[in-house]
Amino acid sequence: MTKPLLIGVTGGIGSGKSTVCRIFQAMGVPVYYADDRGKFLMSNDEGLIQEIKKEFGEESYDENGALNREYLAKTVFADTDRLKVLNSFVHPAVARDFETWVNINSDHPYLLKEAALLYEIGSYKELDKTICVMAPKKVRIERVLLRDIQRKKEQVEQIMSKQTDDATRRNLADYQVSNKGDLLLIPQVLNIHEELLNSVS
């Protein structure tokens, strides 16, 4: 039995990655949400929990064993080196989890991995192709501020500054989905879906 194609879906914050993935899911394509799984593993993977506690202190988790997100965010967000250390624990755990998930879903022609930092951490190199969801910065900021009412514009811009720029995304992506509001998403996704199915048939 042939191995399914592994396709990455990425894009800047507010670009609409999750919306695009939900369209693929509606067509029966399994999607692995790497960022959500990373958060899950930080609370449920015993090996990862021990690594975090050892490096960042017991206060990384509360007395009930729940991840102390506020403490960890304060500890790593402003310190690039500390963030790299945390990522060096989380990313291998996610990679192992993804591999298990791929094996479980190996009866599909292709699988999607949705991740915000696909190009930034180089994990796109382990995938067969990537899809990038594109939208102008102004539109993305407006979307995030509507979606996450607790965020300030400056915070969103700070997150954007840590992400790959649009020119690099265009250069690295095999497929692009325009989500600035002038083109319908479903026909774009259908075209990619058909191309991917044709490439494995």
Residues belonging to the binding site for ATP are: 14-19
Binding residues: 14-19
- Between the CA of residue 142 and those of 54, 114, 157, what are the distances in Å? 39, 22, 11
What are the backbone dihedrals phi and psi of residue 146, each rounded to the nearest 5 degrees, phi first?
A: -75, -35
Taking the CB of residue 71, how many other CB atoms lie within 10 A of it?
15
Helix (H, G, I), strand (E, B) or coil at 146: helix
Q: Number of C-alpha atoms within 13 angstroms, CB side, residue 52? A: 31
Is the CB of residue 24 less than 8 Å from the CB of residue 12?
A: no
End-to-end CA distance of the chain: 13
| DSSP annotation of 110 | E
| DSSP annotation of 194 | H
Q: Which residues contact 166 (CB under 8 A, 6 or more apart)?
A: 12, 134
* C-alpha to C-alpha distance for 181 and 28, rounded to whole angstroms: 25
